[in-house]
Structure 1
Amino acid sequence: MAESPRTTVTVLGLGAMGQALAAALVRGGYRTTVWNRSPGKDTELVAAGAKSAATADEAVAAGDLVVACLFDHQSVHDVLDPIADQLAGRSLVNLTSTEPKGARELAEWARQHGIDYLDGGIMATPPMIGQPGSSILYSGSQRVFDEHREVWESLGSAEYFGTDAGTASVVDFALLAGMYTMFAGFYHGAAMVRTVGISGADFGKRAADWFSAMTASLPVAGAQIDTGDYTTVFQSLDFTKAALDAIVSASRHAGVDLDIVGPLKNLVDRQVADGYGTESTERMFESLNPPPLQRT
């Protein structure tokens, strides 16, 4: 249910994600105006009830709340710089995939132009938007987040990380780093089992069950690295080194390159070489040169 009959939302950018966001807003009952640099991507949205704008400034004029979902950081400036004066006094949420430094730069740009800025990181694929499992992380203007929370929740679960506009992006990219590394490990394993006639699809089923069981322990591992005390050992670095040595040897025997598991072995080897082999495997985290934890 929309927060108010007067709520008007503009979506700038109709790639796959922009279209999904706009469609969810229309389904939620929000008066939604859409614009895209290249024409022809709004046909289904208009049929569903959205209004099409011919120009970006026309689109902005139609919405009190402006959602940008463009190609990259530069494209946000390319679209918004010429119409900054029209954005003054409006609320802008940037859901373009933007690095933390880019989000902070855009927040300062918005401040200078009298625009209330909220940055967001989308943790979902386009088909997930507005469905269970969709999540969007936000940071920046708390007023924009609080005032339009029902809008954000029509797109997915909404979590606010504070006034630093770059924080949501840090969390977004950190989660993506874990996801991509996990998938990369799966690709390495799929390459190994192919040498014994096991298909990627079959290995994928096995890996999904195994990864799901193992990831349940991540909060415990995270709590341990927060303490910096690795003397409570479930699996030691010495044990993990022996396992990785065997994996590397088996990979070489199978003719599989070490681009993925090689760097992981290096992390463990450095910790063992420094004399920490009897401590918990979670100590490999320290090889990443993490900054001190700032407790809030």
Structure 2
Amino acid sequence: MPDHVRPPVTVLGLGPMGQALAAALLAAGHPTTVWNRTAARADPLVARGARLATTVDEAVRASPLTLACVIDNAAVRQIVEPAAVALKGRTLVNLTADTPRRARTMSEWAGSHGVDYLDGAIMTPAPTIGGPSALVLYSGPEDSWQTHRPTLAHLGGSADWLGPEPGRAAAYDIALLDVFWSAMSGVAHAFALAQAERISPTVLAPYARGIAELLPDLVDDMARRLDTDEHTADVSAIASAATSMAHIIEAAVEHHLDVGAVRAAHAAALRAISAGHGADDFSRMPQAYAVGASTSPGVDVVAP
């Protein structure tokens, strides 16, 4: 498609991800308007042909489609609320990471102001945007998705619509980030424990990668077992896993290391055992976490 027929797009927020989004749109030939609280961040994009708006209202009026990518949905609301009249009849795609509940709240706000709303979750780092490995998930009204799908496709890689429920993309995001940060925290804790035992991280690393390579098959197996409710242990059971976790806790405590994360996993395993599932496969563990979430006092990580 010739450059001159590309629809214009506005990008609000020019952190590393916002800059990557705007750069990808410029590279695809979209007239791109940008806005950021610190205007100087737009300089490299302006040098490439972007137009810098001095206000959010001006930025929104420049395009039928606005992408927002900032720190959280509270910041999105603070930015777009003064421009609600300008946004009316246009589409806001919120690519800001936050909780599913807040995504639904943003959708309700948009609907009350006559703004079409899609929620999005960017699942790959900023350097991938515009390239074949990028992955962005979307949820919200299908007609809005279909209207802007050709433009959003220029962000690169895969663009998957998950359905009309506005919190769906954020729910995927939270679950997948749980995988990532739990795993990375486990790696960091493992290196701390290894160093306490005078094992070089670079010496341990090949063995750690070997452990990590077991995970893809285990992820698929757990998903299958959860979908079919089949938890007969073929190799090892939750009781065995709990014993292994107890050993990790004991060794880490001896070296005065924080054991909060592994202790939480151990507590979930003990709940599963107490419920009579000690001989079952580890795939029973999600149920044990659900029980913990409903019975642990004083746990409330949802900000008002």
* TM-score with structure 1 setting the length: 0.91
In structure 2, how many angstroms separate the alpha carbons of the residues matched to 1:65 and 1:109? 17
Q: 1:17 is aligned with what amino acid? A: M
Match of 1:30 in 2: 30
- Shift of the 233–146 alpha-carbon distance from structure 1 to 2, 3 Å rule, reads same
Q: Does 1:244 align with 2:245?
A: yes
Name the structure where helix makes up a greater proportion of residues: 2
Q: Cα distance, 1:231 vs. partner?
A: 2.1
Structure 1's unaligned 5+ residue stretches are 292-296
- Cα distance change on mapping 1:48 and 1:199 into 2, 3 Å: farther
- 1:123 alignment partner in structure 2: 123
The structure-2 alpha-carbon separation of the partners of 1:149 and 1:77, relative to structure 1 and needing over 3 Å to count, comes to same
Q: For residue 254 of structure 1, report the CA deviation from its aligned partner.
A: 3.6
Runs of 4+ in 1 over 4 A off after TM superposition: 1-4
Are the counterparts in 1 of residues 91 and 117 from structure 2 also a CA contact under 8 Å?
Answer: yes
Alignment match, 1:294: none
**CA-CA distance at 1:222 after TM superposition:** 0.9
Correspondence for 1:165: 166
Residue-by-residue CA offset, 1:243-278 (whole Å, 9 max, x unaligned): 222222232334433112111111111212232221
Per mean C-alpha deviation after superposition, the further-off stretch among 252-261 and 132-141 is: 252-261
Give, in whole Å, the separation in 2 of the partners of 1:262 and 1:129.
Answer: 38
> What is residue 277 of structure 2 aligned with on the other side?
276
**CA positional deviation for 1:194:** 0.2
* Contact 2:3–2:28, Cα closer than 8 Å, also in 1: no
**What is the one-letter code of the residue matched to 2:192?**
A
Contact 1:2 1:150 in 2 (8 A): no
Alignment of structure 1 residues 49-198 onto 2, 5 Å: 49-156=49-156, 157-198=158-199
The residue type equivalent to 1:30 in the other structure is H
State the shift of 1:286 in Å. 1.2
Q: Residues 228 and 63 (structure 1 numbering): CA distance in 2 closer, same or farther, change over 3 Å?
A: same
Q: Partner of 1:16 in structure 2? A: 16
Q: Secondary structure of the residue that 2:41 maps to in structure 1?
A: coil
SS of match in other structure, 1:217: helix
Give the Cα–Cα distance (whole angstroms) in 2 for the partners of residues 280 and 65 of structure 1: 48
- More divergent stretch after superposition (151-160 vs 195-204): 195-204
1:124-178 Cα distance to aligned partner (Å, 9 max, x none)? 2222212233211110121221122222222131111111111110110111111
Q: For the residues of structure 2 that align with 1:122 and 1:6, how far apart are their CA atoms? A: 23
The residue identity in structure 1 corresponding to 2:269 is: V
Conserved 8 A contact 2:103-2:166 = yes
Query: Partner residue of 1:215?
Result: 216
Alpha-carbon distance, 1:4 to partner: 7.4
* Deviation digits for residues 183-239 of structure 1 (CA, Å, limit 9, x no counterpart): 111111111110233333443443234213323320111110222231253321122
Cα separation, 2, equivalents of 1:2 and 1:213: 47
When structure 1 is superposed on structure 2, of 252-261 and 18-27 the one drifting more is 252-261
Matched residue type, 1:251 = A
1:230 equivalent to 2:231? Answer yes
Do the aligned residues in 2 keep the contact of 1:188 with 1:260 (CA within 8 Å)? no
Deviation at 1:283, TM superposition (A): 1.0
Q: Which runs of 5+ in 2 are unaligned?
A: 294-304
After superposition, the Cα gap between the structure-2 partners of 1:99 and 1:238, relative to the gap in structure 1 and judged at 3 Å, is closer
How far apart, CA to CA, are the structure 2 residues paired with 1:220 and 1:179?
Answer: 18
Check conservation: 1:110, 1:117, Cα contact below 8 A: yes
CA distance, structure 1, for counterparts of residue 214 and residue 191 of structure 2? 19
Once superposed, what is the RMSD of the aligned Cα atoms?
2.0
> Could you tell me which amino acid in structure 1 is paired with residue 239 of structure 2?
D
